[in-house]
Structure 1
Amino acid sequence: MRRRLRERRRLRLVLLSTVIVVLLGALPLYFGIRTLSNDPVFDTLDALDVPAWAAVETQDDVSGSRWCLLDCRLRERTVESERAPEETARVYEQALVRDGWRRWQVERCPEQEEKGSYTCWRRDELTLDLWVREPTCVPPPGADGEPAIVPSPAPGEELPAECAGASVSLKVRNAIDDDRTRPQPSTDPSLTGEDPFPTLTDDPLGELTPSPS
């Protein structure tokens, strides 16, 4: 009986130790995976104080590595707004200022000419591009299955529901991976237009110097 009791106690201790080890290992693993799967930059964008009408549909996209292995992480968010681009851009710019972002006046903002409102921002180690424009109008297909052609609205006439509102794009990058934070090489104006290879004359020896008489 004593031997059986000792074996039962030993078995209980082994089981208890196993459960403790599993819990101690599983909890850090769970929180580690959760931390890696959640991007704090998107949490920051979620916290922007914009009206509900300015963030009706949200779609996120991520590329690159968080630790900048080969390519640094690029976060892109596309949002649909129910109101005009001018009003939508204004509320997003005000929300960015309240959240600590500062307007960034830099060349190549945007990289190429874009329609709508395009502004650049910086905060700590991040840069942000905000692009607000009219949405892509995709009307329902016509009777023959082809997309219907939407005529331009007359003065005082509203656009169809598919063409109203605004589209918002937010692009966030690490400042160290943003080429616009690096000084661009400059060309010395004094060297512009100079030919490094002078033109040779017909006679490579040139004119002979007469010998003194």
Structure 2
Amino acid sequence: MTNTFNHIAVIPARKNSKSLPYKNRILFKYTADFLKKNNLFDKVYVNSDDIVLKKMGNKYGFIFFKRKKELAGDRTSIKDVFLDMISKIKFKKNTFIWLFYIPLVYKKKIDFEKSIKLVEKKKLKSICAFKKSETHPMTCWYIKKNKPFQFIKNDLFRRQDYSEAYSHHHYICGFNIKTLIKLNNELIFKNTYPILLDNLTAKKLIEVDTYDEFKKFKKMIRK
């Protein structure tokens, strides 16, 4: 069956990182191996300011997009990165871009196969994973001048009175390029289709930002 969309995977990876130096170089192979082995996407791009990652991506047959310096800082949103990329590459009008953050090292093929099928079947504009929140927003407070204030004012005391709460997660995240301008900086809007992750998958979603988290991930994949 011919797809309606041209499915493009993009690996955004800036050179510098503070907590784990050159973490994108260290972790690149896990995302690259997954994308190369499973062949789920029409093309794969590496969006980076790092020439080393260009060479690493070339070995996999990935296309390199040079990120400009002003978009390589830690204050740049992923939306701005994609807006710049889309303004410079003549993507097909039916292009659906899938985000692959390198620090999100766990990936399961069937999750992405199902997501792609959903996009095709429902002609989705945007898709993102969600997992149950570990802390409910109704119980969250902030401290100001040594006094506690509720983020959401309420007087609930029974847990069963709380509605289900979810956190978004970029484990699965994609969008039609025509929709990008409508998305917020986390690539979500009111018509984003939510993929609800089961608890087992949610527990495996390690985001490697420190050396200790990297060791935890290595231990997990050895099991």
Structure with bigger gyration radius: 1
- The structure with more strand, counted as a fraction of residues: 2
TM range (shorter): under 0.3
Structure scoring higher RCO (CA < 8 A, sep ≥ 6) equals 2
TM-score calculated relative to the size of structure 2: 0.20
